[in-house]
Amino acid sequence: MYALFSLRNALRVLLMLVLVGAGAAVYVVWQIHQDVDAVSERFTLDSGPQSTVIFDSKDRAISALYREHRIPVALEQISGHLVNAVLVTEDRRFYQHTGVDFRRIAGSTVANLRQGRIVEGGSTITQQFVRGAFLDRTKTFSRKIREAWLAAELETRFGKNEILQAYLNRVYLGDGYYGVEAASRGYFGKPASQLNATEGATLAALINRPSGYGLRRTPARVRERRDWVLQEMLQEGLLDPGVYASSVVIPVAATLSSAATRSAQDPAKANGGPYFVDTVTQMLYEQFGIEKVLTGGLRVYTTLDSDVQRFAEQAVLKRLAELDKRRVQGEPLQAALVAIEPSTGFVRAMVGGRNFVESPFNRATDAKRQPGSAFKPFVFAAALEAGYSPGTTIGGLEESVASFQGAYLPGGEHEMESTTLRSALVHSSNRAAVHLLQRVGLRPTIDLAARMGLDSMPAVPSLALGTGEVSLLNLTSAYTVFANGGILQPPTFIRRVEDADGRVLYRAESEGHRVLSETTAFLMASMLADVVDHGTAYGARTAGFSLPAGGKTGSTDDHNDAWFVGFTPNLAAGVWMGYDRPQQIMRRGFASVVAVPAWAGFMKQATTDNKPDWITAPAGITHIRRCKESGGLATEYCELYGEVYGDMVGIGRSPDACPLHTSTGLVVAPIALSSIPPQP
């Protein structure tokens, strides 16, 4: 009786356990169903985060920004050898199953049992895609159910080729490469469409253990796996025996591209102007946000000319190497170079320092230093706007000018009692610049500089000598006004930005606006051309640069900074050299010695194909002859009894006739000339 009672209790407990187990199983399945429904509602064939690619002015890739380096391509743009290798390796019955291959699962189970360990996986390509796109990597029974369920659901919504394309673009292939296109360019220096059987089998071999197999780290292991893939392709009839025989004898190392080829083909390995790219990157982050830039697959078309950039880097490093031989070793001498197209404002090249890896600080954009005499053209431009002309004589240069600190009279290398504006600029007269600033006025000069992009200038007499601080980018941009008829085109780095689908998100619009009269710009260009041909920048000519050009040197009194900004009608370039912690570059380290050779070396290469054109004179420019003694319009008697010189003036700016020389040759007391504006 007791035994019967115990048997009944045991059956009751067993029934209860069965019911509980069934209920738990139903609950687990119901939960999985809920999870699957939630995931399937956001089903897409998203290949994953995409790299943002940056292009130069000729639409050549120069860099990539990414969280996962991935460049999606269409299935038609992937080599058939690679596709076959992946199918043979990962899912031979891909086109036969409906997301889960039960035959393969059974086969892999038997193989694993025989080996006593897992030697084969049963997941299809669809399951692998689902796992990577929608699930985590935890190895649980419920995750495997979710994976299979979602794979079957995915195949009801999308075609086989769509799934295969998404998989090939998403799969990780080691060394930071996601998707076959990025890996193909990174490993072999070619797009995925051009892969041969050996290369296709190599990539397929990496899928199994992308982190365990390294093409450069463990080439023997990769080759063993690759040759197995080639053998399987041969057996499946996907590879010609002759191709197989020639493929298996190739060492893995022989298939890898050189660093130069990878740099040209893989934007992640390109080194297209690192200081320029860094500037563009910060602009993109500010406009689109970091997340969109690193994952959104933007296409960024910039203004950088990669050839001009290469010339800039070569010229800077060459000049630094030459100067290194002439100085005591210590803190490295630094340099920066910016090249801008005057008509558009497009930045064609940028060097921000000696070495970006060692010092990413951009000395072309972020460093502000005193430009010295390179600021003088803005004082002279203000004078021309006020009515002066290049031939106007300014005298009394031996007299001091008033300042808040008392009487002020600068020294200099080329000083005299009186001179014309043209001669003063050619010889970089400090006293002439200070006197001219006083006569034109601080406020008009500061306002003109601000219009040209140089703001926050100090209201002191020494401003004429460049005691305000500027960046090389802004100073070079300001000089483009002289080459562009008085129009300022702000520096432009990005032409347009497109999203991954080709929609334009941003396009640079011309923002040019007039900041100088056309006459003033032309006259300034003429005066600055004399600086190159006869003045402090003549070293550019002795260095072999022969195209018509204008420019101005700039050196600080202590020789801590050396500048030269020069231009042709088609290209303006600025060079700065100095130390990050200001100190003397070298004894008598004038810009003519330090910076001009770097500029000349760069411009000779950057303008090789340019014609020897110069800026066309605007309407209203008149060539006149001045009397050297009076500054007035020369008469026939000035030619007989005095000296005359040529000048150019704008419309309505011609001086009165000389009042000093007459038919009798007598010289009368000079009178005030309307052509010379009075001092304020």
Catalytic machinery residues: 90, 373
Write out the two tokens for 389. 């002309």
Contact 497, 392 (CB under 8 A): no
**CA-closest candidate to residue 424, choices 379, 387, 459:** 379
DSSP letter at 496 equals E
**CA-closest candidate to residue 277, choices 350, 345, 342, 344:** 350
Contact 422, 531 (CB under 8 A): no
Nearest-Å Rg of the Cα atoms of the chain is 37
Question: Taking phi first (over 0 means left), then psi (-120 to 50 degrees means alpha), and beta for anything else, what does residue 174 get?
Answer: left
End-to-end CA distance of the chain, in Å? Answer: 130
Identify the sign of the CA torsion 102, 104, 106, 112: negative
Write out the two tokens for 47. 């290949």
Residue 675 and residue 654: Cα distance in Å, rounded?
7
Residue 227 and residue 241: Cα distance in Å, rounded?
13
How crowded is the C-beta side of 577, counted as CA atoms within 13 Å? 31
For residue 55, what are the β-bridge partners? Answer: 61, 301
DSSP letter at 250 equals S
Instruction: Kindly state the greatest CA–CA separation across the chain.
Output: 160
What is the residue-wise DSSP string for 549-565? -EEEEEE-TTS-EEEEE
What is the residue-wise DSSP string for 649-667? E-TT-PPPBPSSB-TT--B
Contact 239, 87 (CB under 8 A): no
**CA-closest candidate to residue 254, choices 196, 210, 205, 213:** 196
What are the start-end ranges of the H helices in 497-621? 518-534, 539-542, 591-594, 596-606
- Between the CA of residue 298 and those of 63, 74, 276, 500, 602, what are the distances in Å? 12, 17, 18, 6, 32
**How do 487-488 and 513-514 pair as beta strands?**
antiparallel
Residue 195 and residue 192: Cα distance in Å, rounded?
6
For residue 178, what are the β-bridge partners? Answer: 70, 172
DSSP letter at 492 equals B
